[in-house]
């Protein structure tokens, strides 16, 4: 059985224009180990926006109706080089989602009519054909909305904790900490007894974290931010940070606070800085500007690195990955509950006002696409 349905795509052409449009596509027959899922829910994550809009200038948005129907944007010429690899290719969007199995290959044990969560891209669509082993069966009481964000945020939050543990750190610093991901991380850390220092940028964000039991919440806009961060690091012994911001001096400020806390504890002066190893992982791009490291303030025992979910999951190995998936399913309605502020249809994602709203990434707002709404 092959099914025909819509798929949201983003394409940048050689002329420097990005088009976001719906394409009618055939799923094709499922292979023996594949299923076809009717998508009922797919979240809009920051990483999805990266693929949908690339380096386009969103202020140039215009409706278009030529060989494609949708929205068109200009990509500034100087930014085209960074996306050379995708020019002329229609990129289907939507990292993860959930839905009902409507067809299955002969080797598949999952039942038609049952609900699964999925990772793998192209989820902003009516149907998604996928390998059964890449789908996670949802518990019977879970809605599609419950299972839509089963992968990226939960596995990333668990991945941070696993990374910290493997690399020998006993407490964690997290930036942009009031996000859905940040709240999951805080809940995991409370359960697992790992001190977490949350960095936020508003009282509203601090309140979100305090309500779920956060012990350390520091507002980076406060005048005594550096001093408070240093104190919290000295108290908890945090030597690893996960940073969603990336740009500016925040990463450097965190490493400097870790160094100051280490020097306070050191018994003798070392001109090369403390002997405490400090690791900062950048996993997001909330600030697109360059990262500025005032490295003279934190010696030589440090590392700043990119952190990306899939390669880290590979490193952990199959057993740890399975244990992580099992925990996500088990705690789907507690630790890993996602809250959506607005549910939209697939066609609505191409309405200019709706697009501007989900693109804004405001604190506490989270959109879910439900293609069954039209």
Residues in CB range of 81: below 8 A, 6 or more apart? none
Name the residue nearer to its own copies (CB basis): 229 or 304.
Answer: 304
Among 288, 317, 353, 360, binds its own copies (CB under 8 A): 288
Q: How far is the CB of 308 from its own copies (least distance, A)?
A: 4
d(CA 97, CA 43): 7
Burial class (CB in 10 A: 0-12, 13-18, 19+), 158: buried
Q: How far is the CB of 307 from its own copies (least distance, A)?
A: 7
Site map (CB under 8 A) of its own copies, residues 231-250, x = contact: ---------------x----
Half-sphere exposure of 358 (CA within 13 A, CB side): 27
Name the residue nearer to its own copies (CB basis): 215 or 285.
Answer: 285
Name the residue nearer to its own copies (CB basis): 21 or 302.
Answer: 302
Q: How far is the CB of 265 from its own copies (least distance, A)?
A: 12
Name the residue nearer to its own copies (CB basis): 5 or 246.
Answer: 246
Q: Beta-carbon neighbour count of residue 73 at 10 Å?
A: 22
What is the C-alpha R_g of the chain? 22
Among 60, 69, 191, 305, binds its own copies (CB under 8 A): 305
Half-sphere exposure of 161 (CA within 13 A, CB side): 23
Asked whether position 110 contacts its own copies by CB under 8 A, the answer is no
Name the residue nearer to its own copies (CB basis): 285 or 357.
Answer: 285
Strand partners, 216: 197
Strand partners, 115: 100
116: its two tokens: 């699964």
- Region 6-65 residues binding its own copies, contact defined as CB under 8 A: 50-51, 54
Q: Beta-carbon neighbour count of residue 47 at 10 Å?
A: 17
| Pair 276, 170: CB distance under 8 Å | no
Among 58, 80, 110, 285, binds its own copies (CB under 8 A): 285
Q: How far is the CB of 207 from its own copies (least distance, A)?
A: 31
Among 3, 16, 68, 86, binds its own copies (CB under 8 A): 86
Q: How far is the CB of 244 from its own copies (least distance, A)?
A: 13
Among 92, 215, 291, 365, binds its own copies (CB under 8 A): 291
- Find tokens 């202020």 and name the residue: 59
Name the residue nearer to its own copies (CB basis): 30 or 94.
Answer: 94
Q: How far is the CB of 301 from its own copies (least distance, A)?
A: 6
Which phi and psi angles does 42 have, rounded to 5°?
-145, 125
Burial class (CB in 10 A: 0-12, 13-18, 19+), 91: middle
Positions touching its own copies (CB under 8 A) are 50-51, 54, 82, 84-86, 89, 91, 246, 252, 263, 266, 268-272, 275, 282-283, 285, 288, 290-297, 299-308, 311
């Amino acid at each position: 059985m092959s099914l025909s349905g819509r798929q949201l795509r983003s394409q940048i052409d050689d002329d420097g224009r990005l088009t976001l449009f719906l394409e009618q596509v055939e799923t094709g027959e499922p292979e023996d180990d594949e299923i076809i899922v009717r998508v009922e829910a797919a979240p809009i994550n920051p990483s999805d926006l990266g693929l949908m809009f690339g380096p386009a200038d969103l202020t140039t948005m215009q409706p278009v109706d030529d060989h494609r129907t949708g929205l068109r944007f200009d990509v500034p010429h100087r930014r085209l080089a960074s996306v050379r690899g995708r020019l002329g290719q229609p990129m289907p969007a939507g990292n993860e989602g959930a839905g009902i199995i409507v067809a299955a290959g002969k080797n598949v044990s999952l039942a038609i009519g049952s609900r699964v969560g999925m990772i793998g891209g192209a989820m902003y669509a009516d149907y998604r054909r996928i390998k059964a082993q890449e789908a996670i069966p949802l518990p019977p009481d879970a809605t599609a909305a419950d299972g839509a964000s089963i992968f990226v945020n939960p596995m990333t939050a668990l991945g941070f904790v696993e990374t910290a543990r493997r690399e020998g750190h006993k407490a964690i610093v997290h930036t942009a900490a009031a996000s859905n991901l940040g709240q999951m991380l805080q809940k995991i850390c409370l359960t697992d007894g790992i001190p977490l220092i949350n960095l936020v940028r508003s009282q509203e964000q601090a309140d979100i974290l305090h309500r779920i039991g956060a012990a350390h919440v520091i507002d980076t806009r406060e005048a005594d931010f550096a001093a408070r961060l240093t104190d919290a690091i000295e108290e908890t012994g945090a030597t690893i940070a996960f940073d969603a911001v990336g740009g500016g001096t925040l990463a450097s400020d965190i490493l400097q606070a870790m160094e100051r806390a280490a020097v306070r504890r050191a018994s003798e002066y070392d001109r090369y800085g403390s002997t405490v190893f400090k690791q900062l992982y950048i996993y997001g791009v909330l600030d697109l500007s360059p990262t500025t490291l005032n490295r003279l303030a934190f010696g030589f025992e440090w590392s700043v690195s990119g952190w990306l979910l899939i390669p880290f999951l590979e490193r952990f190995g199959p057993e740890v990955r399975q244990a992580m998936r099992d925990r996500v399913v088990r705690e789907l309605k507690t630790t890993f509950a996602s809250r959506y502020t607005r549910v939209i249809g697939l066609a609505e994602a191409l309405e200019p006002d709706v697009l501007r709203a989900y693109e804004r990434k405001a604190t506490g707002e989270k959109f879910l696409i439900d293609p069954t709404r039209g």
